[in-house]
Structure 1
């Protein structure tokens, strides 16, 4: 399918057409595209709902892309997933990784940017996929942002880098009251990322925050993107 993004700037509407087999909600902010931010929703969410995040983060000259997981959420209406949590996820994880990287590569070609201008952001299950896809790519990205997430197949990433340092900046954020992805997972993930060789790692755990995105977190996300764009 193709998607079109319309800028609401005063100079008129700007249309970007990107091919993807995924359903994608998109948003162009500003008069030109200097960065691409690809945002992966959590288990059971959908692209349209997660796309509200773009309204919370005041950054100009950005193409926001919110792809939707390829499989329906098994326990609710109008939700999606990137891979199953109650059965073997291997094949569907691989498929989702390929679809996300296909979208990323198509976007940078259309926008005439390079990998260093792309951010991958994910929440919960989407955070796990953002980490895996972004690091497996073995290209320096503008940044990977993992919100309330986890890491899987760390040994596969480690083997891919074979001891080389990972230059992509990373931001790992979590709530200390998260009852979906427990805070212990956050600390284990930090150890794993350091062991993988991530040298530019910023992290924070928020007091009295559950499995959600807070206003304080939005400020830290905005700051990270502005500093690394």
Structure 2
């Protein structure tokens, strides 16, 4: 469903001390999200941007019952898990692995991280929330051990209700993440310069 197709940038994996995984939104592609790195303080990072089959990680809204988004959703989560295993096998610890996504990619980023909570380098979600028609705390495990997380979103946002963002923030905090959430009035479904600045300050320069 989602084979591991990775577009790379930044430093070579053989010499980089940090890795940033970047997940594009619905209708986007790996090159799109990779270009965002030009505005981020990640000069010393290896950049890995997976490409979703058909430019979509799962077919329906992230608020649909999870069964409706299968098997694509499980395939996307498994692809990310396999990618992290390969990085760790190369000697890159999770403390040196950062996760970033926009929109559908942000939802997938948060869902993967919450199901595999650990001490990551940092997590950035540009407009996203945990996946499912209802949040089930029982499926999220682990301890973020203070991992810094930044979540930015608009209120309102056509795709991502602010209530789900707030509920996701609360759940991530319950798993030990240090979450900064910022809600922008009527910003639209995009990434603002202020969000980029906060991501740099809170995550990449930390």
Q: TM-score, length-normalised on structure 2? A: 0.83
Question: 3-state SS of the aligned residue for 2:20?
Answer: strand
- Asked if 1:149 corresponds to 2:131, the answer is no
Aligned-pair Cα RMSD in Å: 2.5
CA distance in 1, matches of 2:57, 2:177: 28
Mapped to 2, the partners of 1:165 and 1:93 lie a distance apart of 23
Judge conservation of contact 2:157–2:188 (CA < 8 Å) in 1. yes
- Quote the offset at 1:193 in angstroms: 3.0
- In the other structure, the counterpart of 2:38 is 55
Please list every run of 5 or more consecutive structure 2 residues that lacks an aligned counterpart in the other structure: 62-66
CA distance in 1, matches of 2:118, 2:168: 21
Where does residue 96 of structure 1 map in the other structure?
Answer: 76
Equivalent-residue separation in structure 1 for 2:171 and 2:118 (angstroms): 19
**Are residue 133 (structure 1) and residue 144 (structure 2) matched?**
no
User: Does residue 21 of the first structure (1) align with residue 3 of the second (2)?
Assistant: yes
Tell me which residue corresponds to 1:85.
60
User: 1:41, CA displacement in angstroms?
Assistant: 0.8
Q: How many residues align?
A: 196
Q: How far apart are residue 58 of structure 1 and its match?
A: 3.0
Distance 1:170 1:66 in 2: 19
3-state SS of paired residue (1:192): helix
Query: Match for residue 122 of structure 1?
Result: 101
Shift of 1:185: 2.9
Q: CA deviation at 1:172?
A: 1.2
Q: Distance in 1 between matches of 2:105 and 2:117?
A: 19
1:72-113 CA deviation, whole Å, 9 max, x = no partner?
Answer: 1xxxxxxx1111106811321111101012122223433x22
The aligned counterpart of 2:64 is: none
Q: Which runs of 4+ in 1 moved over 6 A?
A: none
Corresponding residue for residue 216 of structure 1 = 194
Superposed CA offset, 1:179-204 (max 9, x none): 2323333223323334x433411111
Residues 108-128 of structure 1: CA distance to partner in whole angstroms, max 9, x if unpaired?
433x22111101111111111
TM-score normalised by the chain length of structure 1: 0.75
Separation in structure 1 between the aligned mates of residue 205 and residue 106 of structure 2, nearest angstrom: 20
Give a deviation string over 1:127-177, Cα, whole Å, max 9, x none. 11111212222432112211101212542x54453xx65323221111234
Q: Tell me which of the two structures has the higher relative contact order, counting C-alpha pairs closer than 8 angstroms and 6 or more residues apart.
A: 2
The alpha-carbon deviation at position 218 of structure 1 amounts to: 0.8
CA distance in structure 2 between the partners assigned to 1:25 and 1:137 by the alignment? 23
